[in-house]
Structure 1
């Protein structure tokens, strides 16, 4: 008889910047890039390592994290949400810290870090909890929410996982990657007893570099306050599983060629932006829709929406430092009729619609920015992560992670979530995480593989 899955907490402590650090208190206002993320549950990322834990590795991780927080000290602070008319802001008081949990699981790491379906609740137990900003409004209470928490979990078969949970409104993937690169470099230096690593890419905290001539922040903030009472944390569905799928470079080329050939048949130009990202996302979108197909008579006039994130730094009309600390991503939303996606040329339709949205963002990514929050509430599918952010390149001194998982927040019951990572071996492939119920995951897996063979 199988032993029930269990994670036992061995230690809980808090990590601060080094005691000799002279760090003054800091308050960071939120920008219009940050406000929409107040509507979402925290970001959750797992790093699995199939190696024996080095001696005193939790001590090494604590020491190196402390050194890292000397540079990224706002992450030790809190998101404060005061009553109206005051605005939410990030506050570091000078004596704040990050929650650090050490745990042990009674299962095998090879099971939890595989590509096969794994229960979302089991994966979630390897991550620390953070309260979401999606609480009910109370006009007399100031909410104080930690920005970052970390959990280290070891397994019975000699492996371990590092789990990060962070508030979306405090840091995007670019900022988290810089933080992880700094932390891993300090740890690697301590592990190898080399001359201590010196971090030179100082984070840029000045929010005044983000210009807001049309008061977009004010508009979005008011929308968020108005809808706050309607935001509800989803109840965990214990039947949900997460699986990982992989598109090799040859798979991606096959999908692209299929789209090009379809366009030739009808004498149409193929989509211009057939990137790894767009190709993979659209293929998975079609597969998801086929599995979720409701056979509704209204499908021909029912619009479906896929939401994704794109770099804001590269689209601003002015320069800001690449080391800018915080969120700097824009929101894209692809709209297609359900009947068009389910048509035999659905993949072509999806990529062409994606092209239209990409062109709009290139032309003016702030166009329609005042609708970011309300439009994202209509999403059917949301994409998180990017193959351009190389989390597999993060090395603490024991090699790259065997597997990286990005887990959806509490909205996984309301919207399908696709998570993306670049291939671990940097071969130009794409890792795709999908969350579905167990029965639908079985159907999706079959469809994903069979459709690929038929292209």
Structure 2
């Protein structure tokens, strides 16, 4: 029987709550949800892991590193108060909002792995048991119903710091997607790392780091998308469904070098010389999408050639809106791109070229078009709800948000993993930690399909 509880091969030394400083202006803050936030109300939490290779004893970890982590987190939360607050949801009627009240805090778990050797296993590239990563993933505290105030309080952020004795440290982050997109959460992580590197943690300011911008009025909504989305959302269930264990998946990492991407571009140009949008993202996304489609048969999947195949991706809309939204805007400000083909069209030899053309067309005509970025936005909620149980591939992350340059005083990360791609057939995407201008791709698939994908992915680069 499947379990909703993740496996635990770690010892939790401490559960604590970290709040912004009680002095220094961490005042109450309330933020209404804009239509960009509402899309994510039912989405599963986003789970990220950063691994750092550093020889560290238990004593040094508990007596030196943890106090600095706690202090720097508190100082950073002073500027990122929504993460310490809650999603406040009326029990009877009304729209939710994000609210921070002085005294609110973030749940932090201090843990130690029972097997220090797991660090090398988990930070590899080869297929690894996906369930093993959940030892390191912080769990959001459960929602609380407050019958006196008439609200449900839903925590939106949690942290776990795990020691692999004498080997390394893992920082785990879990956030409710509605509180912020990748730009916002990565911005927080980078701010936290900057504070931890400063001699005086209170020095974070607009002079040395772009502080978050909270004014929701900059997001214009002339078409009334907020009310449209709200009318389409199932307000009786605000939490996402839990993930069942075992997941029966393995996690693996693949890399496309700068030369690999050039080679794939030339391959497309030879077959479709008129294509103009051949960015590294387009090439990489199309290649992974078609490799997944082509690996289905080898993995024992029987898919009709007429079965629709979808590719979905989110795009930072801050500078693509009219008027633009400040780059430091904290919250969600992502639009969606989606294209559709069939299994049969993508599995054949020129399927890669077909995928490149389809994705490139969406980007050039909609994503990079201020008049098209919100076209058909009123159908986002229903459209993406309709993709459940369909053959749809998504993308988590972007090379624009590079966490491999995030230092907390322990050097640069050895590995970055997006654990939350497990529930769906999605890929994580980021800059390569080793190859200049290379891209790193993370996948979580059943073992047989991962083996088939690896063979197709490798063979396609040898052409």
The normalised TM-score by structure 1 is: 0.90
Counterparts of 1:237-276 in structure 2, within 5 Å, are: 237-264=246-273, 269-270=274-275, 272-276=276-280
RMSD over aligned CA atoms reads 2.4
Q: Deviations over 1:11-61 (max 9, x none)?
A: 110001112133221110111111111121111110000112466111111
The equivalent of 2:124 in structure 1 is 114
Per-residue CA distance 1:128-166 (angstroms, 9 max, x = gap): 112699x9xxxx974321111000001134211000001
Q: Tell whether the 8 Å contact from 1:182 to 1:199 is kept in structure 2 after alignment.
A: no
| Equivalent residue for 1:52, pick from 51, 55, 60 | 55
Say if 2:303 is the partner of 1:291. no
Task: Give the SS at the match of 1:130.
Answer: coil
Displacement of 1:319? 2.9
Write out aligned runs for 1:254-403 (5 A): 254-264=263-273, 269-270=274-275, 272-293=276-297, 294-297=301-304, 299-300=305-306, 302-358=307-363, 359-363=365-369, 364-377=372-385, 378=387, 380-403=392-415
Shift of the alpha carbon at 1:234? Answer: 4.2
Q: Quick check: 56-65 or 435-444, which moved more?
A: 435-444
Moved more, 432-441 or 255-264: 255-264
d(CA) in 2 for partners of 1:212, 1:5:
45
Runs of 4+ in structure 1 displaced over 6 angstroms? Answer: none
Tell me if the contact between 1:51 and 1:159 (Cα under 8 Å) persists in the aligned partners.
yes
Match among 169, 173, 177 for residue 164 of structure 1: 173
**Structure 2 residue runs without a partner (length 5+):** 1-6
Assess if the C-alpha contact under 8 Å between 1:418 and 1:432 holds in 2: yes
CA distance in 1, matches of 2:246, 2:133: 13
Note closer, same or farther for the CA distance 1:226–1:341 as it changes in structure 2 (3 Å cut): farther
Matching residue within 407, 428, 440 for 2:419: 407
86 and 188 in structure 1: CA distance in 2 versus 1, 3 angstrom threshold: same
The answer to whether structure 1 residue 67 and structure 2 residue 78 are counterparts is: no
**Partner of 1:199 in structure 2?**
205
Q: CA 1:64–1:120 in structure 2 vs 1: closer, same or farther (change >3 Å)?
A: same
Q: How many residues align?
A: 434
Which whole-Å CA distance do the structure 2 matches of 1:5 and 1:124 have between them? Answer: 8
Give the CA deviation at 1:365.
Answer: 1.1
Residues in 2 aligned to 1:397 and 1:229: alpha-carbon distance in whole angstroms: 38
> 2:48–2:420: 8 Å Cα contact kept in structure 1?
no
Q: For 2:282 and 2:134, locate their aligned partners in 1 and report how far apart those are by CA, in whole Å.
A: 28
Residue matched to 1:211: 220
Distance 1:18-1:234 versus aligned 2 partners, 3 A rule = closer
Q: Note the alpha carbon deviations across 1:151-185, whole angstroms, 9 max, x for none.
A: 00011342110000011111111111221121111
SS at match of 2:329: coil
**CA deviation profile, 1:330-353 (whole Å, cap 9, x unmatched):** 111121122111121100110111
Distance 1:296 1:396, change over 3 A: closer
Q: Distance in 1 between matches of 2:337 and 2:142?
A: 23
Match of 1:188 in 2: 197
Cα pair distance change 1:132/1:121, threshold 3 Å: farther
TM-score with structure 2 setting the length: 0.88
